[in-house]
Amino acid sequence: MHDMNREKACAAVQMPASLSAELAGYEWGRDTVGASGGAVYRLHSKAHRPELFLKHGKDAIADDIADEMVRLRWLRGYVPVPAVVHFTRADDEAWLLMTPVPGKTAYQILEAYPERRTAVVDAIAAFLRQIHAIPISDCPFTSEHGYRLVRARTRIDAGLVDEDDFDDEREGWTAEQVWDAMQALLPLAPDPVVTHGDFSLDNMLIDGEAFACIDVGRAGIADRYQDLAIAWNCLAEFGAPLQQRFLEQYGVLEPDRHKLHFHLMLDELF
């Protein structure tokens, strides 16, 4: 999933001795797309050694990386995800070393191949149905909106919400305004499934007809609109007809607009 336009060469980060020895001799490149889940590095060009990816973060991000590690290990039994090679937690930092996932992101393919957009959107919907078909009785993680609202409130109170990164519809809003607008949409009728949690076009990798997902730190039982809303919103860049087709191919003929808007606003706070 390497793309030079999405990466900047960099020096190795400081890390525990055991990990440093394992990664000696690699060249480093830092991913420039997305930062909410910590810094992501591609390690490459070491003779006779495979390419690897390293995620690193401090404080609350370290907790998120630990969450992702346990979810990756669990999800590998159900859908294609990176394999955990090494995980280290020290004081307020965490390092997660993973295998690469072949292919390009769904966003890259939709952007580069307009003639394939309909087929790709159909495949995205099918892949999401596969994730949502995982039995909830098998899933040990919760991501339902009540749980996430508690975490969102904590982030607002701590001043951790990036208000400059809100979607265009909420440009100029404060985090408190987003919070109040969400409250006006409650309660929501529950429709729980196993969700990815951040089902964006950059978190889906496509290699031929094979799909995989990355950035699974929010995976858990939640309303299906947690995933539907994020994917639907990402597809807006490619036009309303593709957004509608995605929902229809997934199986939603009459979308719940309250749930769509609620989950998009909830995502703003993370």
Residue 79's closest CA among 129, 120, 34? 129
Q: From the candidates 31, 67, 198, 267, give the one annotated as an active-site residue.
A: 198
Tens digit of pLDDT for each residue in 128-157?
999 999 999 999 999 999 999 999 999 999
Of 45, 72, 98, the residue at which a domain comes to its end is 98
Same domain, 110 and 241: yes
Same domain, 126 and 222: yes
Same domain, 88 and 113: no
Same domain, 124 and 42: no
Same domain, 39 and 66: yes
Q: What is the pLDDT, as a whole number, of residue 34?
A: 59
User: Is residue 262 very low, low, confident or very high in pLDDT (cuts 50, 70, 90)?
Assistant: very high
Q: What is the pLDDT, as a whole number, of residue 180?
A: 98
Task: Give CA–CA dist 204/231, Å, rounded.
Answer: 10
Ranges 16-20, 27-31, 50-54: which has the least confidence: 16-20
The whole-number average pLDDT for the span 158-170 is 95
Q: What is the pLDDT, as a whole number, of residue 210?
A: 93
Token look-up 């290699």 returns 207
> How many C-beta neighbours within 10 Å does residue 87 have?
19
pLDDT at 4 over 90: no
Tens digit of pLDDT for each residue in 238-249?
999 999 999 999
**CATH number of the domain enclosing 257:** 3.90.1200.10
Q: What is the pLDDT, as a whole number, of residue 90?
A: 86
> What's the angle, vertex CA 87, arms to CA 100 and CA 36, rounded to 5?
70
Tens digit of pLDDT for each residue in 80-130?
999 999 999 988 899 999 999 999 999 999 999 999 999 999 999 999 999
**CATH number of the domain enclosing 93:** 3.30.200.20
pLDDT at 256 over 50: yes
Same domain, 77 and 142: no
Q: What is the pLDDT, as a whole number, of residue 32?
A: 85
Same domain, 125 and 56: no
The whole-number average pLDDT for the span 13-38 is 85
Same domain, 14 and 134: no
Of 70, 98, 126, the residue at which a domain comes to its end is 98
% of the chain surpassing 90 pLDDT? 90
Same domain, 209 and 162: yes
pLDDT at 1 over 60: no
Task: Give how many domains the chain has, as a whole number.
Answer: 2
Same domain, 88 and 111: no
Q: What is the pLDDT, as a whole number, of residue 37?
A: 59
What average pLDDT does the structure give for the chain?
Answer: 94
C-alpha distances in Å from residue 140, one per residue of 18, 101, 216 = 30, 24, 14
Same domain, 117 and 218: yes
Task: Give CA–CA dist 194/204, Å, rounded.
Answer: 16
Task: Give CA–CA dist 239/104, Å, rounded.
Answer: 21
Same domain, 164 and 234: yes
For residue 123, give its domain range. Answer: 104-268
Q: What is the pLDDT, as a whole number, of residue 38?
A: 81
Spacing of C-alpha 101 from chain mean position: 14
The answer to whether residue 198 is catalytic is yes
Of 98, 131, 160, the residue at which a domain comes to its end is 98
Q: What is the pLDDT, as a whole number, of residue 27?
A: 95
